[in-house]
Structure 1
Amino acid sequence: MSCEDLVCARCAHPVAEGRCPQCRASRERMHHHGLDGMAPALVLLALMALLFLTLALKHLTGA
């Protein structure tokens, strides 16, 4: 869902227009989630890459 689809309960205008402080805060909150939601996925991806690299090095060295 995007802010273009939402109507503010306070001013009854589309949230995308940001006419009142509540609209602007909601619009900012909806558009600010970019990297916050990806951080756990990136950490997991890095740990998996490290695990596979470790396993590959052990396989190559024969240990």
Structure 2
Amino acid sequence: MRRDDLVCANCAGRVSEGRCPVCRASRDQYGYGRTGPSATVWMVLAVLAALIAAVALEGRFA
């Protein structure tokens, strides 16, 4: 059984379609519809960029 085959107990529709609030919550829980990187990835990239900027500024003024 694949994730696409899951059926919602609330509306009897496919979870991947997201017909009702229960479907949408389950779909979000199982990762359906994610098209880009998660917020955690963006946070790591932002911290990395801040560290690179701090090192660059420290080297410039040292």
What one-letter code is carried by the residue in structure 1 that aligns with 2:41? A
Provide the alpha-carbon RMSD of the alignment.
3.3
Unpaired runs of 5+ residues, structure 1, are 19-23
Q: Which residue of 1 aligns with 2:45?
A: 45
Q: Which residue of 2 aligns with 1:58?
A: 58
Q: Which residue of 1 aligns with 2:24?
A: 28
The structure whose Rg is larger is 1
8 Å Cα contact 2:8-2:23 kept in structure 1: no
Identity of aligned residues (%): 30
Q: Which residue of 2 aligns with 1:21?
A: none
Q: What TM-score do you get using the length of structure 1 for normalisation?
A: 0.50
Kindly tell me the number of residue pairs found equivalent between the two proteins: 54
1:17–1:31 Cα change, 3 Å: closer
Q: What TM-score do you get using the length of structure 2 for normalisation?
A: 0.50
